[in-house]
């Protein structure tokens, strides 16, 4: 747990405009079904997000910079709705999945598109943990486990929104003692900052009045070919991690830190996401693809922990973080059954990937993992940056 950490990287934030809108054998799966860029080229209509939810006003906010990048964020779940960055031809390309209206984000089974995840990102075995001698039971919302905070996770909460400056949006949510089974009144603050070098910084802070656990992240679904393109298996990925966390059949870590060398999980050298995704491997079978936490070699904001590139758009994304883990999810449970994505597009299986920076899954039950305990008087503080170039 990092408490009161000093930022090790400063971002240029000048000239950014902020507006609150009112109104088997080894095989591969790298064949591109649709390599065309299908960017919306504009953020959704803000009128589709204006509503009273949980007694608070939901809005769509946007940040723009002088280089043509735009980020649309709603305070419902603190979600990144759109993220438009210039491609190799200068065309604004939306690289995150999402919906055109608030109503779609509220539907049952929605896959956390772009959401702030809390109190605890990822899984906790059987929704149980013991803290200071007291046993706690959380919501069970993922088979026999708790996932992403349970039924009362931050993804479905309305955050209060505040403009800090022309370049920043601050979102705050107070999670009450006992919500979802978690102890303590937790005040969580997330600040989004878009810089002129096309970097989106997400800064998380939290305090509590009772000892609790916290593990915040963002669940953006990326496709660097453009949101709505049919596959991400041709996106080229590199992860700066020599080990990953194997999981059991319910996706709880076994506690082993397994070297990636000689496995389909070796992304130390860049390769397409689809190169080894269909390899006959027990871990890939458990996750129905990649859905695993990588143990980062370095996590101090000075070196990218992951880099992704699209040959279609020429867009490169670098990820920087202070977190020790990176959950790489290859969109295995997307179905494409409905055409309710932005612009009426379906989102089929493996049409997006997630790179969720976080502490390790089930850390409250695995003493060998870095602690996620937060005590009164301490401040949880961590930064993640997604930087785009062409």
Q: Is 286 helix (H, G, I), strand (E, B) or coil?
A: helix
**pTM (2 d.p.):** 0.90
Mean pLDDT, residues 101-108 taken together? 96
Burial readout 246-261 (b: 16 or more C-beta within 10 A, e: otherwise): bbeeebbbeeeebebe
Q: Please determine, for residue 13, whether its predicted confidence score (pLDDT) is greater than 50.
A: no
Cα dihedral 355, 356, 362, 366 sign: positive
CA gap 208, 185 in Å, rounded: 6
Average pLDDT on 135-145 reads 98
**What's the mean per-residue pLDDT of the chain?**
91
Region 186-210: mean pLDDT is 98
219 among known catalytic residues: yes
Residue 79 assigned to a binding site: no
Whole-number pLDDT of residue 210: 99
Distance CA 66, CA 61 (A): 17
291 is in an annotated binding site: yes
* Residue 138 confidence (pLDDT): 98
What is the arithmetic mean of pLDDT over 4-10? 38
Per-residue pLDDT at 168: 86
Is 125 annotated in some ligand binding site?
A: no
Q: At 67, is the pLDDT very low, low, confident or very high (cuts 50, 70, 90)?
A: confident
Question: How many residues would you count in the chain?
Answer: 390
Q: Determine the pLDDT at residue 30.
A: 36
Q: Which of 299, 318, 356, 381 is catalytic?
A: 356
Q: What is the pLDDT of residues 161-170, one digit of tens each?
A: 998 777 789 9
Rounded mean pLDDT, 362-387? 99
In words, the CATH class of domain 17-389 is: mainly beta
pLDDT surpassing 90 at residue 338? no
- Identify the pLDDT of residue 252: 99
Q: Indicate if 179 belongs to the active site.
A: no
pLDDT value at residue 16: 36
Check whether 4 has a pLDDT greater than 70.
Answer: no
Q: Which of 148, 179, 219, 230 is catalytic?
A: 219
52 is annotated as contributing to ligand binding: no
């Amino acid at each position: 747990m990092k408490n009161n950490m000093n930022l090790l990287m400063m971002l240029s934030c000048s000239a950014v405009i902020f507006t609150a809108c009112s109104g088997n054998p080894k095989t591969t799966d790298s064949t591109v079904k649709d390599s065309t860029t299908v960017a919306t080229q504009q953020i959704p209509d803000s009128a589709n997000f204006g509503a009273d939810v949980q007694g608070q006003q939901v809005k769509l906010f946007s940040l723009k910079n002088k280089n043509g990048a735009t980020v649309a964020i709603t305070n419902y779940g603190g979600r990144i709705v759109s993220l438009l960055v210039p491609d190799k031809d200068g065309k604004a390309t939306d690289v995150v999945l999402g919906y055109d209206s608030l109503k779609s984000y509220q539907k049952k089974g929605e896959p956390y598109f772009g959401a702030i995840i809390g109190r605890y990102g990822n899984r906790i075995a059987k929704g149980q943990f013991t803290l200071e001698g007291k046993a706690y039971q959380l919501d069970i919302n993922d088979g026999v486990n708790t996932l992403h905070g349970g039924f009362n996770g931050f993804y479905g909460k309305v955050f209060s929104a505040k403009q800090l400056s022309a370049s920043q949006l601050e979102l705050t949510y107070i999670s009450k003692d006992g919500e979802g089974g978690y102890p303590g009144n937790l005040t969580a603050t997330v600040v989004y900052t878009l810089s002129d070098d096309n970097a989106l910084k997400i800064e998380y802070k939290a305090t509590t009045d009772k000892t609790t656990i916290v593990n915040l992240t963002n669940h953006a679904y990326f496709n660097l070919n453009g949101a709505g393109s049919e596959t991400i298996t041709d996106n080229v990925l590199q992860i700066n991690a020599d080990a990953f966390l194997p999981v059991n059949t319910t996706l709880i870590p076994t506690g082993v830190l397994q070297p990636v060398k000689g496995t389909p999980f070796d992304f130390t050298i860049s390769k397409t996401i689809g190169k080894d995704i269909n390899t006959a491997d027990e871990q890939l079978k458990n996750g129905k693809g990649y859905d695993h936490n990588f143990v980062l070699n370095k996590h101090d904001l000075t070196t990218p922990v992951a880099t992704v590139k699209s040959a279609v758009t020429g867009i490169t994304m670098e990820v920087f973080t202070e977190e020790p883990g990176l959950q790489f999810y290859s969109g295995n449970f997307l179905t494409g059954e409905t055409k309710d994505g932005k612009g009426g597009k379906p989102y089929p299986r493996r049409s997006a990937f997630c790179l969720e920076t976080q502490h390790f899954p089930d850390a409250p039950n695995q003493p060998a993992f870095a602690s996620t305990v937060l005590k009164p008087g301490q401040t949880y503080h961590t930064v993640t940056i997604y930087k785009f170039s062409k």
